[in-house]
Amino acid sequence: MTNPTPLMRLVAGVWGFKTLAVGVELGLFTRLAGGRTMTVDQAAAEFGLPDRPADLLLAASASLGLLEKAGDGYRNSELAEQFLVEGRPYYFGAQVRYSDQRTYLPWHRIGEALRTDRPLTWDPESQQSMFDTSDPEMLAQFWDAMFSTSSFTAAALADAYDFSGHSRLLDVGGGAGAFPIEFCRRLPELRATVLDLPHVCVRARERIAEAGLTGRIGTVAGDFLADPALPGGHDVILLSMILHDWDEPTNRALLARCHAALPSGGAIVVCELLLNDERTGPPEAALMGMNMLVETEGGRNYSGAEYGAWLTDAGFVDVRTVPFDAPGANGAVVARRP
């Protein structure tokens, strides 16, 4: 018999996220790094909590697979140890913090976004985009969150698609450079360029220097939507988590400029959370589309077939979809300029 339990799981979804978010906020998982075990009494003392909240937090975190019970205490699960300890290569806490502080409250007004078709996290009447803000802390949170999500996604893409056949990568809207950093660590012969807004390039150069890759990854300050042409001299162009920010005409125009910037035989890689062709899922892609309603003017998530059609119309050939599993994308649509 059908029952409403699946609906209750949806209701409780926000409870799970907020449990994760408060654990990150407290530094719970970082304190448990390296196999340390923490009892309820220790948690209460270290975080300044009464016993009951400390007990509930540890139990709830264990129920979500973030902690494991060890005797009278709790320790990090493998998931938390790898992704929720600050300083680890694929630390995901920045994405958790950004979502908690920036997007969750606007989501409470999702009905307004549906009725008005206007973003909720910024004002189109006074700002040019979500990146047009006088709040440097918010921008820093955003780029840290994107770097967090992009680093592991880049590793998954590198496992799924062989970049070794390319020598020069252009990462359009590359943010802080997570993708080129991951690729260049794996491929000693690869050189890369990050194209993004001037203040973003500053952030990218910092991350690139921290990775010891200043000599191999450069930056070009520009606006990939407004500039008449993209930088040349590259044999592969990456658009990762970019096209879902914009409407179809904007995306088609950008793909045409990518085609013009590539040499014959050059490749384009569109890395996204792809909808299926029926536009019925997967949930990660469809719900990210709803998030685009909250955060952009014209963005949505598209299917691999839609991207393939646009690429073909732009003059690309040999279009194919490469699936993989990552937090920022579930596949890449790849094509070649003849």
What residues are labeled active site? Answer: 244
Q: How far is CA 228 from each of CA 58, 231, 254, 263, rounded to the nearest angstrom?
A: 54, 10, 10, 17
Dihedral through CA 209, CA 223, CA 132, CA 175, nearest 10?
A: -30
Buried b (16+ CB within 10 A) or exposed e, 261-281: bbeeebbbbbbbbbbeeeeee
Question: Would you state the structure tokens that stand for residue 308, as one six-digit string?
Answer: 């393939």
Residue partners of 73: CB distance under 8 A and separation at least 6: 37, 38, 39, 40, 42
Q: Within the chain, what is the greatest distance between any pair of CA atoms?
A: 66
Question: Cα(first)–Cα(last) distance of the chain, in Å?
Answer: 56
Residue partners of 82: CB distance under 8 A and separation at least 6: 88, 90
Q: Alpha-carbon distance 302 to 316, whole Å?
A: 18
